[in-house]
C-alpha cells in the first residue's frame, strides 16, 4: 500500500466502518454457519518459530504466551484511569484479539451497559492487523471474529485488515487508548518508527499508549516518542511472567501531552 504522507484522510466514521471485517464476517455467519455459537476463545501461540528456538527455555516461553501475557494485560489495563476507556481505542497488530477482548470487556464494565451504550459513548474498540500466521498460530480474521463472538462483543469491536506501518486511516487525536502487544518488532526499524509516529498522531491529548515488546526494541519506541515531543514516557521491565524463553520484555507507558 503506497499512501502519500500528505494525502488527506477521510473522517474515521467514513473511512473505516465500511471496511470492518467483523461486520463482513457476521453477515457470513448467519445462524452460526461460520463459527459454532458455543465456541470458546482461543489465542494460539506467539511466534511458533520463537518457541522452537527456545530449546530448554520452551516451558518459560509457553507460560508467557498461554498465561503470562493475559495476566500482564489484565494488570496493565486495570491500572489505567477510567477515562482511558471512555473513548475509542486502537490495538495495533490485534491478531486473534486478546487485547481487543480485554479492552472491550473493560469498557462494558465501566460504562454499565450493553453495546448500545458503548456505541452511544463512541467507545468502540478498533484493531488493525495483516493477520500473518507466522507471528501467531491461527492468526486470521475468522479466528479474531470467533473470539469476539465467543465473548459477545461483536457490536463493540471494529477490525481492519491492513499494515500498521502505513499511514493509519484514522483521524488525528481520536483514540483515548492505543495498545500494541508483541507486534511492532515484527517489522523493519524504519517501519517501526513510522508506526510509533502514527500511534502518536491518532492518540488524543491526555490519552495513553501502552506497548509490550521484546527487550532491545522498546528503547527505540521511547526515543521516537520523545522526538515527537512526548515527555511522560516510562519504559520498564514487564515482569517474569512475560519472558518469552530467553527473551525478556519491556513495557512502554506514555501519556500524550495536552498542550
Pick the CATH number of 41-166+173-255 from 1.10.443.10, 3.50.50.60, 3.40.50.150, 3.20.20.70: 3.40.50.150
Q: Is the pLDDT of residue 29 over 50?
A: yes
pLDDT over 90, % of the chain? 64
pLDDT value, residue 30 = 81
pLDDT value, residue 47 = 59
pLDDT digit string, tens, across residues 45-84: 665 555 545 545 667 878 888 899 999 999 999 999 999 9
How large is the average pLDDT for residues 156-160?
94
37-59 as b/e: b if 16+ CB within 10 A: eeeeeebbebbeebbeebeebee
Contact 143, 136 (CB under 8 A): no
pLDDT digit string, tens, across residues 217-227: 999 999 999 99
Q: Is the pLDDT of residue 6 over 60?
A: no
From CA 143, how far away is CA 156, in angstroms rounded?
A: 17
pLDDT band, very low/low/confident/very high, at 32 (cuts 50, 70, 90): confident
From CA 127, how far away is CA 72, in angstroms rounded?
A: 19
Mean of pLDDT over the chain? 86
Contact 106, 75 (CB under 8 A): no
> To 10 degrees, the CA torsion angle through 146, 147, 148, 149?
50
Pair type for strands 232-237 and 249-255: antiparallel
Return the minimum-mean-pLDDT range out of 11-20, 32-41, 225-234: 11-20
Q: Where are the alpha helices (DSSP H) in the chain?
A: 12-15, 21-28, 48-52, 58-63, 69-78, 98-111, 115-120, 141-150, 189-202, 218-227
Residue linked to cell 504466551: 65
Cβ count within 10 A of residue 154: 17
Residue, of 65 and 135, whose pLDDT is higher: 65
Return the minimum-mean-pLDDT range out of 137-151, 168-182, 214-228: 137-151
- Residues 6 or more apart in contact with residue 54 via CB below 8 angstroms: 60, 61, 244, 245, 246
Amino acid at each position: 500500500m503506497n499512501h502519500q504522507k500528505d494525502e488527506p484522510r477521510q473522517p474515521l466514521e467514513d473511512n473505516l466502518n465500511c471496511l470492518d471485517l467483523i461486520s463482513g464476517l457476521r453477515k457470513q455467519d448467519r445462524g452460526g454457519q461460520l463459527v459454532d455459537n458455543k465456541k470458546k476463545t482461543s489465542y494460539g501461540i506467539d511466534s511458533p518459530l520463537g518457541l522452537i528456538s527456545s530449546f530448554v527455555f520452551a516451558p518459560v516461553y509457553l507460560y508467557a504466551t498461554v498465561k503470562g501475557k493475559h495476566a500482564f494485560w489484565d494488570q496493565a489495563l486495570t491500572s489505567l484511569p477510567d477515562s482511558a476507556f471512555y473513548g475509542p481505542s486502537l490495538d495495533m497488530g490485534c491478531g486473534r484479539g486478546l487485547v481487543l477482548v480485554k479492552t472491550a470487556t473493560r469498557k462494558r464494565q465501566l460504562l454499565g451497559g450493553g453495546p448500545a451504550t458503548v456505541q452511544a459513548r463512541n467507545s468502540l474498540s478498533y484493531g488493525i492487523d495483516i493477520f500473518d500466521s507466522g507471528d501467531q498460530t491461527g492468526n486470521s480474521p475468522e479466528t479474531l471474529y470467533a473470539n469476539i463472538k465467543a465473548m459477545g462483543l461483536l457490536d463493540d469491536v471494529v477490525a481492519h485488515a491492513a499494515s500498521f506501518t502505513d499511514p493509519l486511516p484514522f483521524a488525528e487525536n481520536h483514540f483515548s487508548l492505543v495498545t500494541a502487544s508483541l507486534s511492532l518488532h515484527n517489522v523493519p526499524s524504519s517501519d517501526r518508527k513510522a508506526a510509533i509516529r502514527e500511534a502518536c498522531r491518532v492518540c488524543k491529548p491526555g490519552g495513553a499508549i501502552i506497548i509490550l515488546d521484546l527487550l532491545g526494541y522498546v528503547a527505540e519506541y521511547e526515543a521516537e516518542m520523545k522526538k515527537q515531543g512526548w515527555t511522560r514516557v516510562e519504559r520498564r521491565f514487564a515482569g517474569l511472567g512475560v519472558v518469552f524463553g530467553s527473551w525478556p520484555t519491556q513495557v512502554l507507558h506514555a501519556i500524550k501531552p495536552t498542550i
